[in-house]
Chain A
Amino acid sequence: MSTTVTTPIGSGEAAPGPRLNYLTNGHSLKSWLLTEDHKRIAILYLISVSFFFMLGGAFAGMIRYELTSPAGNVFESDAYNRIFTAHGAIMVFLFLLVAVPAVLGNFLVPLMIGARDLAFPRINLLSWYLYTAAGSLILISCISGGVDAGWTFYTPYSSLYSNSNVSLCLVGVFLGGFSSITTGVNFIATVHRMRAPGMTWFRLPLFVWAQYATGIIMMLGTPVVAITLLCVIFERTFQLPIFSPELGGDPVLFQHMFWFYSHPAVYIMVLPSFGVISEVISAFSRKRVFGYHFVAFSSLAIAFLGFLVWGHHMFVTSQSMYQGVAFSLVTFLLAVPSAIKIFNWTATMAKGNIHLNSPMIYAIGFMGLFLIGGLTGLFLAAMGMDVHLTATYFIVAHFHYVMVGGTVMGFLAGLHFWWPKMTGKLFNDNIAKWNAIVVFLGFNLTFFPQFIAGWMGMPRRYHYYYFAPEFQIYNILSTMGATVLGIGFVIPVIYLIKSLFTGAQAGDNPWGAHGLEWQTTSPPPTENFYYSPIITDDVYDYDPVAEHEAIRELGANRQH
């Protein structure tokens, strides 16, 4: 029951033996820092992304601690503003936009399509260096003096009024954008031209479809925000207010151009996670993804429609109400492809053989959180409702449900799923399962109260609320949840790192999954495959009925 027929070039029977894999192929620092191997670059990304996630999380902790008291606990307003900006900028530009595409995508896209590497390995390395430069600049700007413009950098505050390190931070975001563009170009060229023989478009794993759609958004959206932010740097440097009314500019134009990218950017964050979830659900249900074509095309539909909805961030910014109506309609329609995905995943589980390993628990958690995140989007898409809810904690909760509940849960699910493939080691699945439940519960405790606080009218980015003590109960609940959530994010670091030293050997296919990436060794060799794969069958060639029979005959769960 194999997905592929491999054409052995040497002897097909011989076991690979102790050949070099990509991790052992060179141990010097130089062999890592100048590597052109997509898998090593993915590991470099994994390390840097995790660092920034922890850092952003620390800033989030400070925010939550500060908000337990209506009159603030420790920080001055200025410091608080710098902290939430640092949290937002680091999390959005250095974690969410990068995590799944650059770590899992980099590692898996060539493996899944049977290529030896991405199309442009050197550009891939350049992308990591750009990311590192971006990260350093944003980090320096946030730590030495700080940035207080908020991660959205609305003009004219960011351009003419803020006295903080906005320009430096913007240069960082600009470079990060180019890192994103190079990744996108690489994925698109790779998916178009590097597929193994027989890997037709409709045999591509849904993860690859999602990465492809993500690449389109990265390519088309990122340059626009890059030029917009360049204009803000220009404004700050030359005192030429392009986006402020002093000389006749229009501050709302900045918001148009910013959200033209930054709304599709939300899909750069969640689409790859959708791909991960498709893979995980299908692998652990031992069943072909229900409605493959619909799931694949819904990714493209989201990528396309995602470009037509940016104005729903601007219903109260004096944008024309007629254009607002159009944006609202498309936003509602955009809910449909997301719904298609959720329904198809649910249907995939029906009549499967569901193995509740940790990646599956994370994926189920993802579905629960993303359902809430997506459905609360309906409140905000309804224009009238949005007038009351926009820029309140309702928005904060909504996008955390989408970004943390979507991207981070998807990232964790994917990381657990492919960890044996990436490192060749097995981690403690029992701890991971319980941790997934802790993250799910902690997350809900953190962000659900914020929905209520937002509905009651608590504005976001508020340092004090001593004039409205009724918000306190929700903030305390939220901080309690954040503590649990923080623990839930630290534990995986411990058991995953521990597995590197004490974990059992994973073998090629520990989960019994059917992707092309599971056909090669764990960890894969530098060339990815010892044989040139030729694909003759579907990617999700599972047979739940036969497997059920097999399990019954064995009388035991395959995983135990």
Chain B
Amino acid sequence: MNLANFPFSPPAASNFAGEMDTLFYAILALSTVFAVVTFAYVIFYAIKYRAGSSADRSSPVYENMKLELIWIGFPTILAIIFFVWGAKVYADLRIPPKDAKEIYVVGKQWMWHIQHPNGVRENNTLHVPIDTDIKLTMIAQDVIHAFYIPAFRTQFMVVPGRYTQMWFRPTMIGKFHLFCNMYCGAQHSEMGGSVIVMSKRDYAEWLANNGSMRQNLTPIQAGEKLFSKIGCGNCHGPADLPPRSPSLFGLYNKTREMDNGQKFVADETYIRESILRPGEKLLKGYANTMPMYDKQLTEDEVMALIAFIKGGAVPSLPASNIAASVPGHEAQVNGKAGLNSNALEFNAEGADATPTSRGKDLSVGAMAAEKGDQKR
């Protein structure tokens, strides 16, 4: 049989694959030895000491402290060794390097929205350059999903309400499976697609082509557009205006003091909370005058706003750069335009602009609509 048609190991396409496979085969070897030796003993005894056999049964042993201690101690030591090894691999998997390239992922029933730093968006397909640290910042819009790439040996859950992160460095050019690995409803098994690892040059070209073709906005541009559309700039200007509105210029990663003396670092989660529920943490010296945007913005929109604020929140683009959107080519993926730039027109009727409020009727509607589209 041709082994290519009968594979027993997934492709090893990321920096984790090496250490993970070593760990896997080490545990496999250990388990095999344990299982085979123990079971061989069982079978051997069952045959040797079967009733009526002439095997020597003199002086049977019923308790042997030394033996017990050996088979308590030996597995304990092995267990601790493998624990340390597994924990080390896990720490590598969980903690991204500082300068990793950040890609945003939004999971919803039943598709993945992916947005690259320069604004190129895609659905259910993730294009990444080889040999580059990629950090995915992920959030779910409805239920829990999991972003799983077997060839990269990594996955992480995508939870509604908070950001999770995972990272990897692809090491092999090719097309690999992308799965949703947390049961999420009717079309769970089809919520996936592929990860396409390209050479750095191809990736740059792909980004540029997609960008020019579709005139997508970068997250910062999209955020800026939204910023002016919903009128954030009316209050949040270049200067602090207590007690009404603090300036957002260069807000990201600053330490902010609340009116009760608590201090928070203005990270993504802080900014997200401040947009959605501004009364939650009041900045020292400011009144609670800002309206809540909870249930009014999609997660993509919040991400765009955060990107804009992370970028300094300084309006920089001339208005002409914000071009009208063109329907994206993801139509072929699932029969309708996904989260391309027209999602950022922020009309609430758009299928992709489902607000973060997730009443039952809404989800049913979305379910029915997508079911019709995604029929095989």
**A residues lining the B interface (CB < 8 Å):** 71, 77-78, 81, 148, 150, 154, 156-157, 160-163, 239, 244-246, 250-252, 285-288, 290-294, 315-318, 321, 324-325, 328-329, 332-333, 335-336, 339-340, 342-347, 349-356, 360, 364, 367-368, 371-372, 375-376, 378-379, 381-388, 390-392, 452, 455-457, 459-465, 467-468, 470, 473, 544-545, 548, 551-552, 556-559
Judging by beta carbons under 8 Å apart, are B31 and A324 in contact? no
Judging by beta carbons under 8 Å apart, are B148 and A351 in contact? no
Please report the C-alpha to C-alpha distance between residue A162 and residue B364 in the assembled complex, in whole angstroms: 9
| Complex interface: chain A residues within 8 A of B186 (CB) | 77-78, 81, 148
Give B337-365 interface residues, CB cut-off 8 Å to A. 357-358, 360, 363-364
Contact with A along B184-204 (1 / 0, CB 8 A): 111111101100000000000
| Complex interface: chain B residues within 8 A of A552 (CB) | 52
Q: Tell me whether A385 and B63 are in contact in the complex, defined as CB-CB below 8 angstroms, given that A251-B144, A316-B146, A371-B38 are known contacts.
A: no
User: Per a CB cutoff under 8 Å, which of B62, B80, B146, B177 touches A467?
Assistant: B177
Give B126-155 interface residues, CB cut-off 8 Å to A. 142-144, 146, 148, 150-151, 153-155
Interchain pairs with CB closer than 8 A, number: 302
Judging by beta carbons under 8 Å apart, are B181 and A392 in contact? yes
Judging by beta carbons under 8 Å apart, are B19 and A353 in contact? no
Judging by beta carbons under 8 Å apart, are A351 and B156 in contact? no
Judging by beta carbons under 8 Å apart, are B49 and A285 in contact? yes
Judging by beta carbons under 8 Å apart, are B192 and A375 in contact? no
Judging by beta carbons under 8 Å apart, are B27 and A378 in contact? yes
Please report the C-alpha to C-alpha distance between residue A328 and residue B186 in the assembled complex, in whole angstroms: 33
Judging by beta carbons under 8 Å apart, are A383 and B57 in contact? no
Q: Tell me whether A384 and B35 are in contact in the complex, defined as CB-CB below 8 angstroms, given that A244-B160, A291-B68, A470-B7 are known contacts.
A: no
Judging by beta carbons under 8 Å apart, are A315 and B183 in contact? no
User: Per a CB cutoff under 8 Å, which of B58, B87, B143 touches A157?
Assistant: B143
Chain B residue with Cβ nearest A546: B57
Please report the C-alpha to C-alpha distance between residue A559 and residue B146 in the assembled complex, in whole angstroms: 57
| Complex interface: chain A residues within 8 A of B31 (CB) | 372, 375-376, 378-379
6 contacts between A and B (CB under 8 A): A163-B364, A364-B42, A378-B82, A379-B27, A385-B23, A456-B8
Judging by beta carbons under 8 Å apart, are A349 and B82 in contact? no
User: Per a CB cutoff under 8 Å, which of B62, B75, B86 touches A381?
Assistant: B86
User: Per a CB cutoff under 8 Å, which of B76, B94, B146, B358 touches A391?
Assistant: B146
Chain A residue with Cβ nearest B154: A387
Please report the C-alpha to C-alpha distance between residue A558 and residue B50 in the assembled complex, in whole angstroms: 12
| Complex interface: chain B residues within 8 A of A333 (CB) | 76, 79
Please report the C-alpha to C-alpha distance between residue A473 and residue B342 in the assembled complex, in whole angstroms: 43
Judging by beta carbons under 8 Å apart, are A342 and B38 in contact? yes
Please report the C-alpha to C-alpha distance between residue A290 and residue B85 in the assembled complex, in whole angstroms: 33
Judging by beta carbons under 8 Å apart, are B49 and A351 in contact? yes
Please report the C-alpha to C-alpha distance between residue A558 and residue B56 in the assembled complex, in whole angstroms: 19
Please report the C-alpha to C-alpha distance between residue A473 and residue B151 in the assembled complex, in whole angstroms: 19
Judging by beta carbons under 8 Å apart, are B159 and A251 in contact? yes
| Complex interface: chain A residues within 8 A of B7 (CB) | 456, 470
Please report the C-alpha to C-alpha distance between residue A160 and residue B184 in the assembled complex, in whole angstroms: 12
**B residues lining the A interface (CB < 8 Å):** 5-10, 16, 19-20, 23-24, 27-28, 30-31, 34-35, 38-39, 41-43, 45-46, 49-52, 55-58, 60-64, 67-68, 71-72, 75-76, 79-80, 82-83, 85-94, 109, 142-144, 146, 148, 150-151, 153-157, 159-162, 164, 177, 179-190, 192-193, 357-358, 360, 363-364, 376
User: Per a CB cutoff under 8 Å, which of A351, A457, A465 touches B150?
Assistant: A457
| Complex interface: chain B residues within 8 A of A381 (CB) | 82-83, 86
Q: Tell me whether A161 and B109 are in contact in the complex, defined as CB-CB below 8 angstroms, given that A343-B71, A545-B58 are known contacts.
A: yes
Judging by beta carbons under 8 Å apart, are B9 and A384 in contact? no
Please report the C-alpha to C-alpha distance between residue A328 and residue B82 in the assembled complex, in whole angstroms: 10
| Complex interface: chain B residues within 8 A of A239 (CB) | 360
Judging by beta carbons under 8 Å apart, are B60 and A287 in contact? yes
Judging by beta carbons under 8 Å apart, are A455 and B10 in contact? yes
| Complex interface: chain B residues within 8 A of A78 (CB) | 186
Chain B residue with Cβ nearest A464: B189
B79 CB → nearest A CB, Å: 4
Q: Tell me whether A316 and B160 are in contact in the complex, defined as CB-CB below 8 angstroms, given that A81-B186, A161-B363, A332-B83 are known contacts.
A: no
Judging by beta carbons under 8 Å apart, are A384 and B93 in contact? yes
Judging by beta carbons under 8 Å apart, are B60 and A364 in contact? no
| Complex interface: chain B residues within 8 A of A545 (CB) | 57-58, 60
| Complex interface: chain A residues within 8 A of B89 (CB) | 382-385
| Complex interface: chain B residues within 8 A of A385 (CB) | 20, 23-24, 27, 86, 89
Judging by beta carbons under 8 Å apart, are B177 and A468 in contact? yes
Q: Which 9 A-B pairs have the closest CB atoms?
A: A457-B150, A384-B89, A245-B161, A382-B86, A383-B90, A375-B31, A332-B79, A462-B189, A349-B45
Judging by beta carbons under 8 Å apart, are B184 and A388 in contact? no
Q: Tell me whether A356 and B64 are in contact in the complex, defined as CB-CB below 8 angstroms, given that A78-B186, A457-B151, A461-B188 are known contacts.
A: no
Kindly name the residue among B30, B68, B92, B193 whose own CB sees the greatest number of chain A CB atoms within 10 A: B68
| Complex interface: chain A residues within 8 A of B6 (CB) | 473
A441 CB → nearest B CB, Å: 14
Please report the C-alpha to C-alpha distance between residue A386 and residue B82 in the assembled complex, in whole angstroms: 12
Please report the C-alpha to C-alpha distance between residue A292 and residue B65 in the assembled complex, in whole angstroms: 11
Kindly name the residue among B93, B193, B357 whose own CB sees the greatest number of chain A CB atoms within 10 A: B93
Judging by beta carbons under 8 Å apart, are A318 and B157 in contact? yes
Please report the C-alpha to C-alpha distance between residue A339 and residue B30 in the assembled complex, in whole angstroms: 14
| Complex interface: chain A residues within 8 A of B87 (CB) | 325, 328, 382-384
| Complex interface: chain B residues within 8 A of A551 (CB) | 51-52
Chain B residue with Cβ nearest A466: B376
Instruction: List 14 other contacts, CB 8 Å, given A246-B161, A335-B75.
Output: A154-B183, A291-B68, A315-B90, A333-B79, A349-B45, A349-B49, A364-B43, A367-B42, A385-B23, A391-B181, A456-B7, A460-B183, A461-B188, A462-B179
Judging by beta carbons under 8 Å apart, are A251 and B364 in contact? no
Please report the C-alpha to C-alpha distance between residue A340 and residue B52 in the assembled complex, in whole angstroms: 29
| Complex interface: chain B residues within 8 A of A316 (CB) | 146, 155-157
Q: Tell me whether A455 and B60 are in contact in the complex, defined as CB-CB below 8 angstroms, given that A368-B42, A383-B90 are known contacts.
A: no
Please report the C-alpha to C-alpha distance between residue A382 and residue B64 in the assembled complex, in whole angstroms: 31
| Complex interface: chain A residues within 8 A of B45 (CB) | 346, 349-350, 352, 354
Judging by beta carbons under 8 Å apart, are A558 and B34 in contact? no
| Complex interface: chain A residues within 8 A of B153 (CB) | 387-388
